[in-house]
Amino acid sequence: MDGVIRLSRLADYGIVIMTHMARAPERQQTAPEIAAQTHLPPPMASKILKGLVRGGLLVSYRGAKGGYGLARSAREISVADVIVALEGPIALTACIEQGPGECDLEALCPARANWRRINDAIREALEGITVMEMAQAVPAAFGVPMGVLGGREHATEGPPLMARRADATRAE
């Protein structure tokens, strides 16, 4: 699909890794473990993990019991934070990314102000979605365990949570 606006593979996989980490925020996990659980090639997972550490989203622990852990709560990390950590500022066009003076048409461009509005709207939307919210929609294929996720129930089998809650309410 030529001409489609899309996230880079690096940012997309970074979000996959961060949602995986959000599902077990108290655990330190090794790079091979993260790669296996997210079905990413180990070299790609390692590259992304290093970028997420540089971006301040993950902490790296050395030693026999080392690994990676969230630098702060998954409720405090937005999708935009992940993208910026791995790709740099969110910008749809070069004039937005590079700033004034980078485009030969800048003084005559009737679209520049609207590109800024569009870029701001997309960035705000990405800032409004947390890694925890993304983690709560992880498919069963990624091994979501039965139990509690961030204080909220979830399950990989059976009727959706809302249906189970409605059935429980009717039973009372």
| CATH number (domain holding residue 62) | 1.10.10.10
Does the predicted model carry a pTM greater than 0.75?
A: no
Answer yes or no: do 109 and 133 share one domain. Answer: yes
State the total domains in the chain. 2
Domain residues for the domain of 133 are: 9-138
Count Cβ atoms within 10 A of the Cβ of residue 69 and give its class: 0-12 exposed, 13-18 middle, 19 or more buried.
middle
Answer yes or no: do 133 and 157 share one domain. Answer: no
Answer yes or no: do 68 and 21 share one domain. Answer: yes
What pLDDT digit, counting tens, does each position of 90-118 carry? 887 776 665 566 667 767 777 777 888 88
Give the pairing of strands 152-154 and 67-70: unpaired
Q: Is residue 2 part of a domain?
A: no
Answer yes or no: do 134 and 148 share one domain. Answer: no
Answer yes or no: do 156 and 115 share one domain. Answer: no
The angle subtended at Cα 117 by Cα 9 and Cα 102, nearest 5°, is: 75
Within 2-130, where are the H helices?
9-22, 31-38, 42-54, 79-87, 94-98, 112-127
Answer yes or no: do 152 and 87 share one domain. Answer: no
CA 24 to CA 14: how far, in whole Å? 16
What pLDDT digit, counting tens, does each position of 3-48 carry? 667 889 999 999 999 999 999 999 999 999 999 999 999 999 999 9
CA 110 to CA 87: how far, in whole Å? 28
